[in-house]
Amino acid sequence: MILICKNYKENNESYEEVIDWLLYNNAQFDFLSGEDYYENGKHWSIALDNSQDKLSIPFNEYKSVWFRGFLRHRYHLEETFKDLESTNDNIAELRWRIGQEIGRINTQIFNNFRDTYQLPSPLSVKSDKFSMLRLAKELGLDIPDSLITNSKKELLYFFKKQQHVITKPLYETVYFNDESYVAFFKTDKITEEVIESLPSTFFPSLFQGYVEKDIELRAFYIEEEFYTMAIFSQLDPQTKVDFRNYNDERPNRNVPYVLPKEIETKLKILMKELNLNTGSIDLIKTPDKKYVFLEVNPTGQFGFVSKPCNYYLEDKIANTLIQHDR
């Protein structure tokens, strides 16, 4: 039996298509979500007497786990916080603490999968961007010049050298809003004016030199195989900074691409080191034909690569799960 770990609240088309292929191949599958543990009022426990998780989930029946997600943190215990009378600081601290606790508990839940094939292992999906870059560099891959600093002076120096600088979160790209504000944790361009407006020390952040693009590449990796797509984001001046601002009239040209063997070999080692058997790898090919590694998204989207390149990744994923479910 196959187990699909996901956030019940999140759905998307390419995910649904994997389910279609599982159905078409008569595969047996179940779903599991963090909501089953934290929100649905079910009884469960994990005891250290070697017995398995007692959420009446027959973990030993699952031979193959597809990990897409588990829980969206911001929904935890929303109700509890509503009635709590306390200072904002205390509530923030409380939320953070609870988040940390949940992380540890989840690790124990995921421990149920230890003898199961996992695509990918939920314990491997959390690595941060800087460690990935460090590893990539050690393996001889080109990376953007990267810097974590809290110092205006250092940043200015970095900016002078690089000319173009972006900042991005070390962890995930997210944004959230309240009545009075929107907070972004995302990739953004840093201008001289932005730096001027900073105090002499600020919250430590990751900065990277802007990499000149010929094309952007997305490589979907699954079990030693690469399905790479080239994104011609430079054709259209409207999308020069980040292709996610695409232009509906003339969507960027997305076509199949073959990475040089030597780059694939290094990326394979990188994925092994990160203990990831699947993931979506972002790269940039520069005008002088260097391949610059940016990051890996272990549970990233794949439909936008699969469709324009006719790669049938949905079938590939379903098949991989089925093969290990024997």
Partner 1 sequence: MNKKSFKLFANCIIVKGASLATICDLHRGKVYSIPLPLAEFLEKTENDDTLEDIKKFSQEDQETVQEYLEYLEKNELGFWTDEPDRFPDLNLQWKSPEHINNAIIEIEQLDNDDLQKITTALTNLLCKFVEIRFYKTIDLDKLAFFAEHCAKSVIRSITVFLPFTSKLDIKEIEILSIKYPRIVLFIVHSVKEKNTTIKTNNPKIQMISRVIDGQSHCGIIDPKLFSIKIPVFTESLKFNSCLNKKLSIDSNGNIKNCPSMSNVFGNIKTDDIETVAESLNFQKNWNIHKDLIDTCKDCEYRRVCTDCRAYVDNPEDLYSKPLKCGYDPYINKWEDWSRNPLKQKAIKYYSFQEFLKN
- List interacting residues with partner 1 (CB under 8 A): 17, 20-21, 23-24, 230, 232, 235-236, 250-251, 253-258, 289, 307-312, 314-315
Strand, helix or coil for residue 64: strand
Helix, strand, coil content of the chain in percent (nearest 5): 35, 25, 40
Kindly tell me the number of DSSP H helices and DSSP E strands found in the chain.
10, 15
* Residue 8 or 38 having the CB closest to partner 1: 8
Least distance to partner 1, CB of residue 116, Å: 24
Least distance to partner 1, CB of residue 240, Å: 15
* Residue 276 or 309 having the CB closest to partner 1: 309
Least distance to partner 1, CB of residue 29, Å: 14
Least distance to partner 1, CB of residue 68, Å: 18
Q: In b/e form, how buried is each residue of 173-200, taking b as 16+ CB within 10 angstroms?
A: eeeeeeeeeeeeeeeeebeeeebeeeee
Tokens of 160: 């002078």
Least distance to partner 1, CB of residue 245, Å: 17
Which helix (H) or strand (E) is 88 found in, with range?
Answer: helix 88-110
Find tokens 């292992």 and name the residue. Answer: 121
313-323 and 13-24 are packed helices; what angle lies between their axes, rounded to 10 degrees?
50
Tokens of 39: 């929100």
* Residue 160 or 253 having the CB closest to partner 1: 253
* Residue 178 or 288 having the CB closest to partner 1: 288
Which alpha helices (H) appear in 147-229, and where do they start and end? 152-162, 192-196
280: CB partners within 8 A, 6+ apart: 218, 219, 220, 221, 296, 297, 298, 300, 301, 302, 305
* Residue 169 or 303 having the CB closest to partner 1: 303
Least distance to partner 1, CB of residue 222, Å: 16
Whether residue 237 is preceded by a cis peptide bond, meaning omega within 30 degrees of 0, is: no
Least distance to partner 1, CB of residue 105, Å: 34
CA 324 – CA 230 distance, rounded (Å): 31
Tokens of 64: 């193959």
Least distance to partner 1, CB of residue 266, Å: 17
- CB 299, CB 314: distance < 8 Å: no
- CB 152, CB 207: distance < 8 Å: no
* Residue 155 or 281 having the CB closest to partner 1: 281
